[in-house]
Protein backbone atom coordinates (compact mmCIF):
# COMPACT_ATOMS: atom_id res chain seq x y z
CA UNK A 1 0.00 0.00 0.00
CA UNK A 2 1.27 3.46 -0.89
CA UNK A 3 0.87 6.26 1.64
CA UNK A 4 1.65 9.95 1.44
CA UNK A 5 3.76 11.52 4.18
CA UNK A 6 5.31 14.87 5.05
CA UNK A 7 8.77 15.31 6.56
CA UNK A 8 9.05 18.20 9.05
CA UNK A 9 11.73 19.42 11.43
CA UNK A 10 11.93 21.75 14.43
CA UNK A 11 15.37 22.58 15.82
CA UNK A 12 16.76 19.59 13.87
CA UNK A 13 14.33 17.28 15.66
CA UNK A 14 12.73 15.48 12.70
CA UNK A 15 9.30 13.96 12.18
CA UNK A 16 7.09 12.44 9.57
CA UNK A 17 3.40 13.28 9.63
CA UNK A 18 0.77 10.98 8.14
CA UNK A 19 -2.84 12.05 7.73
CA UNK A 20 -4.44 8.80 8.87
CA UNK A 21 -7.92 10.21 8.32
CA UNK A 22 -7.30 9.31 4.67
CA UNK A 23 -6.07 5.76 5.40
CA UNK A 24 -7.21 4.45 8.80
CA UNK A 25 -4.07 2.31 9.05
CA UNK A 26 -3.05 0.46 12.21
CA UNK A 27 0.62 1.37 12.64
CA UNK A 28 2.33 -1.62 14.20
CA UNK A 29 5.79 -1.48 15.80
CA UNK A 30 7.21 -3.29 12.81
CA UNK A 31 5.77 -0.76 10.34
CA UNK A 32 7.05 2.18 12.42
CA UNK A 33 10.51 0.68 12.82
CA UNK A 34 10.75 0.12 9.06
CA UNK A 35 9.62 3.69 8.33
CA UNK A 36 12.07 5.16 10.86
CA UNK A 37 15.12 3.38 9.45
CA UNK A 38 17.38 6.10 8.06
CA UNK A 39 18.92 3.76 5.45
CA UNK A 40 16.00 1.70 4.14
CA UNK A 41 13.03 3.87 5.22
CA UNK A 42 12.35 7.57 5.61
CA UNK A 43 14.15 8.18 8.90
CA UNK A 44 12.79 10.24 11.77
CA UNK A 45 12.92 10.83 15.50
CA UNK A 46 9.15 10.48 15.83
CA UNK A 47 6.07 9.63 13.80
CA UNK A 48 3.00 11.86 14.16
CA UNK A 49 -0.35 10.36 13.20
CA UNK A 50 -3.19 12.79 12.48
CA UNK A 51 -6.64 11.46 13.28
CA UNK A 52 -10.25 12.60 13.63
CA UNK A 53 -11.17 14.55 16.79
CA UNK A 54 -12.38 12.49 19.73
CA UNK A 55 -13.90 15.36 21.72
CA UNK A 56 -16.17 18.31 21.05
CA UNK A 57 -14.49 21.65 20.27
CA UNK A 58 -11.29 19.86 19.22
CA UNK A 59 -10.02 20.22 15.66
CA UNK A 60 -7.88 17.07 15.45
CA UNK A 61 -6.47 14.26 17.55
CA UNK A 62 -2.89 13.10 17.09
CA UNK A 63 -0.72 10.25 18.29
CA UNK A 64 3.06 10.22 18.75
CA UNK A 65 5.37 7.26 18.23
CA UNK A 66 9.11 7.00 18.82
CA UNK A 67 11.30 5.48 16.13
CA UNK A 68 11.27 2.13 17.98
CA UNK A 69 7.47 1.94 17.70
CA UNK A 70 6.62 2.84 21.30
CA UNK A 71 3.80 5.35 21.72
CA UNK A 72 4.47 8.42 23.89
CA UNK A 73 2.21 11.05 25.35
CA UNK A 74 3.68 14.38 24.28
CA UNK A 75 6.08 16.14 21.92
CA UNK A 76 6.50 19.91 21.96
CA UNK A 77 8.56 20.17 18.77
CA UNK A 78 6.17 17.79 17.04
CA UNK A 79 3.17 19.91 18.06
CA UNK A 80 4.69 22.94 16.33
CA UNK A 81 5.38 20.89 13.20
CA UNK A 82 1.81 19.62 13.25
CA UNK A 83 0.43 23.17 13.38
CA UNK A 84 2.48 24.21 10.35
CA UNK A 85 1.50 21.00 8.53
CA UNK A 86 -2.22 21.66 9.05
CA UNK A 87 -1.85 25.18 7.71
CA UNK A 88 0.36 24.21 4.77
CA UNK A 89 -1.93 21.38 3.71
CA UNK A 90 -4.97 23.69 4.05
CA UNK A 91 -6.62 21.29 6.47
CA UNK A 92 -7.55 24.26 8.60
CA UNK A 93 -8.01 27.98 7.90
CA UNK A 94 -7.79 29.51 11.37
CA UNK A 95 -4.53 30.30 13.17
CA UNK A 96 -5.58 28.94 16.58
CA UNK A 97 -5.88 25.17 16.56
CA UNK A 98 -7.13 22.82 19.30
CA UNK A 99 -5.38 19.46 19.32
CA UNK A 100 -5.89 16.50 21.66
CA UNK A 101 -3.22 13.98 22.60
CA UNK A 102 -3.72 10.84 24.64
CA UNK A 103 -3.63 12.76 27.92
CA UNK A 104 -4.19 16.48 27.36
CA UNK A 105 -5.37 19.24 25.04
CA UNK A 106 -2.92 21.61 23.35
CA UNK A 107 -3.70 25.01 21.86
CA UNK A 108 -1.46 25.86 18.89
CA UNK A 109 -1.20 29.43 17.59
CA UNK A 110 0.44 30.08 14.24
CA UNK A 111 2.26 33.40 14.19
CA UNK A 112 4.54 35.12 11.64
CA UNK A 113 7.67 33.60 10.00
CA UNK A 114 6.83 29.99 10.95
CA UNK A 115 6.80 30.95 14.65
CA UNK A 116 4.32 28.89 16.63
CA UNK A 117 3.12 29.24 20.21
CA UNK A 118 2.03 26.07 21.98
CA UNK A 119 -0.08 26.22 25.14
CA UNK A 120 1.34 23.12 26.82
CA UNK A 121 -1.06 23.12 29.77
CA UNK A 122 -0.08 22.90 33.43
CA UNK A 123 3.13 21.23 34.65
CA UNK A 124 2.51 18.46 37.19
CA UNK A 125 5.02 17.76 39.95
CA UNK A 126 3.59 14.88 41.98
CA UNK A 127 5.33 11.45 41.82
CA UNK A 128 2.08 9.79 40.71
CA UNK A 129 2.04 12.00 37.61
CA UNK A 130 5.37 10.63 36.36
CA UNK A 131 5.09 7.83 37.68
CA UNK A 132 7.98 7.88 40.18
CA UNK A 133 8.29 5.41 43.07
CA UNK A 134 9.11 7.20 46.31
CA UNK A 135 7.97 7.13 49.94
CA UNK A 136 7.85 10.90 50.38
CA UNK A 137 7.35 14.07 48.35
CA UNK A 138 10.55 16.13 48.50
CA UNK A 139 11.88 19.38 47.10
CA UNK A 140 14.83 17.45 45.58
CA UNK A 141 15.28 13.74 45.00
CA UNK A 142 18.47 11.73 44.66
CA UNK A 143 19.73 8.49 43.10
CA UNK A 144 22.98 6.73 43.96
CA UNK A 145 25.30 6.24 40.98
CA UNK A 146 28.76 4.71 41.53
CA UNK A 147 28.89 5.73 45.21
CA UNK A 148 27.85 9.31 44.43
CA UNK A 149 24.40 10.90 44.63
CA UNK A 150 22.77 12.53 41.61
CA UNK A 151 20.20 15.13 42.65
CA UNK A 152 17.16 15.73 40.45
CA UNK A 153 13.60 17.02 40.17
CA UNK A 154 10.58 15.51 38.45
CA UNK A 155 7.78 17.02 36.37
CA UNK A 156 5.21 15.95 33.79
CA UNK A 157 4.28 18.26 30.94
CA UNK A 158 2.13 15.58 29.33
CA UNK A 159 5.13 13.24 29.38
CA UNK A 160 7.55 12.51 32.25
CA UNK A 161 10.82 14.37 32.81
CA UNK A 162 13.72 14.21 35.26
CA UNK A 163 15.69 17.48 35.51
CA UNK A 164 19.33 17.59 36.63
CA UNK A 165 21.30 20.81 37.06
CA UNK A 166 24.96 20.55 35.98
CA UNK A 167 27.86 22.99 35.80
CA UNK A 168 28.86 22.29 32.21
CA UNK A 169 26.66 20.30 29.82
CA UNK A 170 29.44 20.17 27.23
CA UNK A 171 31.54 17.86 29.40
CA UNK A 172 28.84 16.12 31.44
CA UNK A 173 28.34 12.39 30.64
CA UNK A 174 24.80 12.87 29.32
CA UNK A 175 24.47 9.48 27.65
CA UNK A 176 25.86 7.49 30.57
CA UNK A 177 23.75 9.18 33.26
CA UNK A 178 20.75 9.57 30.96
CA UNK A 179 20.58 5.86 30.20
CA UNK A 180 21.08 4.95 33.87
CA UNK A 181 18.23 7.14 35.09
CA UNK A 182 15.87 6.45 32.17
CA UNK A 183 15.93 2.73 32.99
CA UNK A 184 16.04 2.99 36.80
CA UNK A 185 13.54 0.87 38.72
CA UNK A 186 12.01 3.97 40.38
CA UNK A 187 10.65 5.01 36.96
CA UNK A 188 8.44 2.05 35.96
CA UNK A 189 7.45 3.67 32.64
CA UNK A 190 10.94 5.10 32.04
CA UNK A 191 11.61 8.84 31.85
CA UNK A 192 13.15 11.62 29.75
CA UNK A 193 16.30 13.01 31.38
CA UNK A 194 17.11 16.73 31.04
CA UNK A 195 20.52 18.24 31.83
CA UNK A 196 20.38 21.98 32.54
CA UNK A 197 23.25 24.46 32.68
CA UNK A 198 22.12 27.84 34.03
CA UNK A 199 23.71 30.79 32.21
CA UNK A 200 21.55 33.30 34.10
CA UNK A 201 17.97 33.40 35.33
CA UNK A 202 16.68 34.17 31.81
CA UNK A 203 18.88 31.80 29.80
CA UNK A 204 19.77 28.13 30.14
CA UNK A 205 21.54 25.52 28.04
CA UNK A 206 19.92 22.11 27.79
CA UNK A 207 20.70 18.62 26.59
CA UNK A 208 18.01 15.94 26.65
CA UNK A 209 18.30 12.16 26.76
CA UNK A 210 14.90 11.08 25.48
CA UNK A 211 13.10 7.96 26.61
CA UNK A 212 13.55 5.08 24.12
CA UNK A 213 15.60 7.31 21.79
CA UNK A 214 18.75 8.60 23.45
CA UNK A 215 20.09 12.12 23.11
CA UNK A 216 18.36 14.25 20.46
CA UNK A 217 19.14 17.64 18.96
CA UNK A 218 16.17 19.21 20.71
CA UNK A 219 13.18 18.36 22.88
CA UNK A 220 10.37 20.89 23.20
CA UNK A 221 8.63 19.21 26.11
CA UNK A 222 12.04 18.83 27.79
CA UNK A 223 12.64 22.58 27.49
CA UNK A 224 9.20 23.26 28.99
CA UNK A 225 9.69 20.77 31.82
CA UNK A 226 13.15 22.08 32.71
CA UNK A 227 12.05 25.71 32.82
CA UNK A 228 9.01 24.74 34.91
CA UNK A 229 11.31 23.14 37.49
CA UNK A 230 13.61 26.16 37.50
CA UNK A 231 10.73 28.58 38.00
CA UNK A 232 9.19 26.43 40.72
CA UNK A 233 12.55 26.48 42.55
CA UNK A 234 12.79 30.29 42.11
CA UNK A 235 16.07 30.07 40.19
CA UNK A 236 14.67 31.07 36.80
CA UNK A 237 12.63 34.03 35.54
CA UNK A 238 9.09 33.65 34.18
CA UNK A 239 10.48 34.04 30.66
CA UNK A 240 13.47 31.89 29.72
CA UNK A 241 15.47 31.29 26.55
CA UNK A 242 16.49 27.66 26.23
CA UNK A 243 19.49 26.84 24.02
CA UNK A 244 19.46 23.23 22.80
CA UNK A 245 21.84 21.51 20.39
CA UNK A 246 19.46 22.31 17.52
CA UNK A 247 18.65 25.92 18.42
CA UNK A 248 16.63 28.10 20.79
CA UNK A 249 13.15 28.00 22.29
CA UNK A 250 11.43 30.58 24.47
CA UNK A 251 9.37 29.36 27.42
CA UNK A 252 6.94 31.50 29.44
CA UNK A 253 5.30 30.35 32.67
CA UNK A 254 3.78 32.37 35.51
CA UNK A 255 3.99 29.45 37.92
CA UNK A 256 1.53 27.60 40.15
CA UNK A 257 -1.76 26.79 38.39
CA UNK A 258 -1.05 28.68 35.17
CA UNK A 259 -0.56 27.13 31.75
CA UNK A 260 2.94 27.08 30.27
CA UNK A 261 3.70 28.48 26.79
CA UNK A 262 6.41 27.47 24.34
CA UNK A 263 7.50 29.63 21.38
CA UNK A 264 9.55 28.24 18.50
CA UNK A 265 9.72 27.66 14.77
CA UNK A 266 8.89 24.66 12.59
CA UNK A 267 9.86 23.88 9.02
CA UNK A 268 8.57 21.80 6.13
CA UNK A 269 11.28 19.58 4.62
CA UNK A 270 9.56 17.61 1.84
CA UNK A 271 6.52 15.54 0.86
CA UNK A 272 6.79 11.96 -0.33
CA UNK A 273 5.15 8.61 -0.94
CA UNK A 274 6.29 5.27 0.47
CA UNK A 275 5.10 1.68 0.31
CA UNK A 276 4.14 -0.10 3.53
> Do both 113 and 155 map to the same domain?
no
End-to-end, the C-alpha distance of the chain in Å comes to 5
The 8-class DSSP code of residue 276 comes to: -
* Cα angle, residue 245 at apex, residues 219 and 64 outer, rounded to 5°: 20
DSSP string, 171-203: TS-HHHHHHHHHT-TT-TT--EEEEEEEEETTE
> Do both 31 and 102 map to the same domain?
yes
> Do both 182 and 71 map to the same domain?
no
Q: Which long-range contacts (CB under 8 A, 24 or more apart) does 25-29 make?
A: 25/1, 25/276, 27/65, 28/69, 29/68, 29/69, 29/70
**H/E segment holding residue 130:** none
- Residue 81 bears catalytic tag: no
- CATH (domain of 84): 3.10.310.10
Instruction: Output the pLDDT for position 113.
Output: 85
As averages over each run of 10 residues, the pLDDT of the chain (276 residues) reads: 95 96 92 95 96 93 95 94 96 96 93 93 96 95 96 97 97 97 97 98 98 94 98 98 97 96 97 93
> Do both 131 and 253 map to the same domain?
yes
> Do both 92 and 133 map to the same domain?
no
Domain region containing 71: 2-119+265-275
Residue 191 and residue 52: Cα distance in Å, rounded?
29
> Do both 84 and 17 map to the same domain?
yes
> Do both 101 and 141 map to the same domain?
no
> Do both 239 and 175 map to the same domain?
yes
Instruction: Output the pLDDT for position 55.
Output: 87
Tell how far CA 98 is from the center of its chain: 17
> Do both 144 and 108 map to the same domain?
no
Instruction: Output the pLDDT for position 1.
Output: 86
Instruction: Output the pLDDT for position 118.
Output: 97
- Region of 190 please: left (phi>0), alpha (psi -120 to 50) or beta: left
CB atoms within 10 A of CB 263: 18
Q: Name the E strands within the chain.
A: 2-10, 13-19, 46-51, 60-66, 71-72, 96-100, 105-110, 115-121, 141-145, 148-156, 160-165, 192-200, 203-210, 214-216, 239-244, 247-253, 260-265, 267-275
pTM of the model: 0.94
Instruction: Output the pLDDT for position 53.
Output: 94
Instruction: Output the pLDDT for position 7.
Output: 98
Q: Which of 81, 117, 162, 219 is catalytic?
A: 219
> Do both 246 and 205 map to the same domain?
yes
> Do both 149 and 77 map to the same domain?
no
Residue 219 and residue 65: Cα distance in Å, rounded?
14
Report how many domains make up the chain.
2
Q: Which of 75, 117, 162, 224 is catalytic?
A: 75
Give the Å distances, CA to CA, from 81 to 85, 124, 209: 6, 24, 21
> Do both 133 and 245 map to the same domain?
yes
- Residue 75 bears catalytic tag: yes
Amino acid sequence: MQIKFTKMQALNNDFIIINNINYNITFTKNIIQNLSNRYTGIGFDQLLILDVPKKNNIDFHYRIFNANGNEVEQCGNGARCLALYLKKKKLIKKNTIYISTNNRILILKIMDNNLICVNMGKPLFLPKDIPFITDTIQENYRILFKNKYIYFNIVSIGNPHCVITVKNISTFPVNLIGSFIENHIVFPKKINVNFMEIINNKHIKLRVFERDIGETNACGSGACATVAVGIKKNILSNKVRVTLLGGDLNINWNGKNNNLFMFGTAHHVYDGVINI
